[in-house]
Chain A
Amino acid sequence: MTTTTAPITKKGVRLDAPLFGRIAIVLLGIAALVYYFLQPQQATAVYASTLRQSTPLILGALCGLIGERTGIINIGIEGQMLLGAFVAFLANVYIGNLFIAVLAGVATGALLGLFLAWMSITLKMDQIIGGTVINIMALGLTSFFYVAGLTTKGKLQPIPLGPLADIPLFGPIFFNNAPITYLTIILVFFFQFALFRTVWGLRTRAVGEHPSAADTVGIRVNTMRYMNTTLAGCLSGLAGAYLTLEAVGSFERGMTNGRGFVALAVMIFGKWTPLGSWGAALLFGFATALQTQFQFLGLDFIPHQFIGMFPYVLTIVVLAGFVGRSRPPAAEGKVYDPE
């Protein structure tokens, strides 16, 4: 009788949330629907804002988790996002083609990812320091080269997906967005599948959990790490492009405002899985949208700074046991030296 209850904890990272986690998700869903039936217009506005606020967070978190799943800690997401945003903005100003601008942002993120991989694998540098280098560098470069007064020729506009956009509640929230938001939702499911159902995913996780074992079966550990860190960089770059090309349409110094760091919290919250992180990102986005809504409604019996703290308090509460134990990949942050 004891043997049937024990194994769950032994297996380590499990995909499904523990029971109360599921109950919480169901309760949240019911609350969301109730809100919609009481105040359809308001609820739709809040949920649309939630998705919007969560987009850069989940892209950053995907970048973080792909890196860490392969064993490379990426603390430079903030810098990758910022420089990606800046380059995408410049491309939009000088080339004027939004598609090329997005690619430029993605490429910038990838280059910084490659740079991080080079520092942490080839130079065997401390990965935290490597990431910090990227953050400082991005802040310096963007502040130095930014010229006030540059204006863009437009930003990515929402594309309603035909009849899907007319579905009540879900239509205006999920099917009336701009391209990067759609792409982000697809990427979440894509990476969830790729990480747990493909050869690439298995190898990635093997390299992050037990690199020497992976090496013995013929996986080239450091090549894998190089590849994945660069790929992950693309996602941070995309998050940057989202900020300048889709969300705002303009660049400001330091406009990422710590979103790259919140993305790390989102990743841990989501237990290093794409779907879990998406849930966490939506929760963060929802908290921000909700505190705005509280102010809109004039509910000032709570100081709004308290509502602003809400997502962070929630993180602590959730980390303290709500989603169960959150365990990082075993070999993250460790240099792998085959000799």
Chain B
Amino acid sequence: MRKTTLLFIALFLTLALLLAACGGGTTEPAANESAAEPTSDAAAEADCASADVFCVGLVTDVGEIDDKSFNQSAWEGVQKAGTDLGAKVEYIETGDAKDYATNIGLFANNSYDVIVTVGFALGEATAQAAATYPNINFIGVDQFQGEPVANLAGLIFPEDQAGFQAGALAAMLTKSNTIAAVLGTDLVPPVVAFKEGYENGARYINPDINIISTFHPGGLDVAFTDPEWGASTAKQAVDQGADVVFGAGGKTGNGALIEVAGVDGAYCIGVDSDQWETVPEAHACLVSSAMKLITPGVFDLIKLAKDGAFPAGNFVGATGLAPFHDFEAKISQEIKDKLAEIKAGLDDGSLSTGYNPGG
């Protein structure tokens, strides 16, 4: 009797561990398990090592392929390459930050032609892999390249420009003359670029505007996955009179958007993708999103790689504001014209966001 209960407990614990692994919460097997797929598929269907078969692999940052954010956007670019260019595509979800190199290595060892790594955090692992496998082209989304390497392209975005337009929009919408930003961590340069652009854009419209913005105090592991902090911080900002809130920081920012949706007359602005599609709870306040067009950027780079014109160094993708959706009618033509004028100015270089990380 005693033994049976103990055996039951032991079994249960094993099960719990297994589930934890499958969920990709913390443990390593998550990566290896899903990585087993491309290996067998590749052997069965086509050999990536042969010149006729064009293979593209994608390694996510910690998170899921269907995160409705940058992992998903990048994967959609890869899938487009699959349909339009006839490439064989596969992905690995990274379960733990320790596994970046391992996961990239799994594709590299199977002679994939192009490997896409998604996120600033994978920069170091990607650069190392690019040095180890000179015959494979690497695309690093959000990875700024200091020194150009022939087989490594960093897909970067002028986040400050998207932020600038969002800030200008916020400054034109506010009635209280106070706007806020709830951000992920300043350890990630794109987040800082969004913030600086947002603040400068708002000041471009109204130099005397009151901007209150804050970064999550935690590290990379929690800064983007703390919706409760995002929500209460947004509330703290709204309580002080902010009536437009820019939520830029993954799930943390989403928490802020949902919170603002519950406030009468307040607006919120999303980030990265068109969050109208991804955070339906925020429809009541979501006027627009400061978008990074990751999908076309990834696709363009893959196409260039296939055509043998792979660019080394940095490849600058496009940014912009998402459609206004339900707010289309509520935004005056005057505001729309001003935004169009700003966008044109940023595009032709006559207008600067004033953000210069290099100095």
A44 at the interface (CB under 8 A from B): yes
Q: Which of B9, B19, B281 touches A249 (beta carbons < 8 Å)?
A: B281
B9, A250: Cβ atoms closer than 8 Å: no
A140, B16: Cβ atoms closer than 8 Å: yes
A250, B225: Cβ atoms closer than 8 Å: no
**Closest A residue, CB atoms, query B23:** A143
Taken together as a complex, chains A and B put the C-alpha atoms of A252 and B64 apart, in Å, by 12
Size bracket of the B interface:
35 or more
Known: A48-B236, A49-B232, A123-B5. A248 touches B16 (CB 8 A): no
B42 at the interface (CB under 8 A from A): no
Per the CB 8 Å criterion, the residue count for chain A at the interface is 53
A250, B281: Cβ atoms closer than 8 Å: yes
Main DSSP-derived SS at the B contact region: helix
Which residues of the other chain, B, contact A139 by a CB distance below 8 angstroms? 20, 23, 25-26
Known: A140-B17, A257-B222. A41 touches B26 (CB 8 A): no
A296, B240: Cβ atoms closer than 8 Å: yes
Which residues of the other chain, B, contact A257 by a CB distance below 8 angstroms? 218, 222, 225-226, 228-229
A243 at the interface (CB under 8 A from B): yes
13 intermolecular pairs with C-beta atoms under 8 Å apart: A42-B240, A44-B239, A123-B6, A133-B16, A143-B23, A143-B24, A144-B19, A148-B64, A249-B281, A250-B258, A250-B281, A292-B214, A307-B217
**Closest A residue, CB atoms, query B219:** A305
Which residues of the other chain, B, contact A48 by a CB distance below 8 angstroms? 235-236, 239
Since A41-B240, A48-B235, A136-B17 are in contact, a sample of 11 more A-B pairs with Cβ atoms closer than 8 Å, ordered by chain A residue number, is A42-B240, A45-B236, A52-B235, A56-B228, A137-B16, A140-B19, A148-B68, A247-B231, A247-B232, A288-B229, A296-B237
A250, B227: Cβ atoms closer than 8 Å: yes
Q: Which of A42, A143, A247, A249 touches B20 (beta carbons < 8 Å)?
A: A143
**Closest A residue, CB atoms, query B63:** A253
Tell me the smallest distance from the CB of A148 to a CB of chain B, in Å. 5
Tell me the smallest distance from the CB of A126 to a CB of chain B, in Å. 12
B68, A123: Cβ atoms closer than 8 Å: no
Contacting residues of chain B (6-33) with chain A, CB-CB under 8 angstroms:
6, 9, 13, 16-26
A289, B236: Cβ atoms closer than 8 Å: yes
Taken together as a complex, chains A and B put the C-alpha atoms of A289 and B217 apart, in Å, by 11
Taken together as a complex, chains A and B put the C-alpha atoms of A305 and B187 apart, in Å, by 11
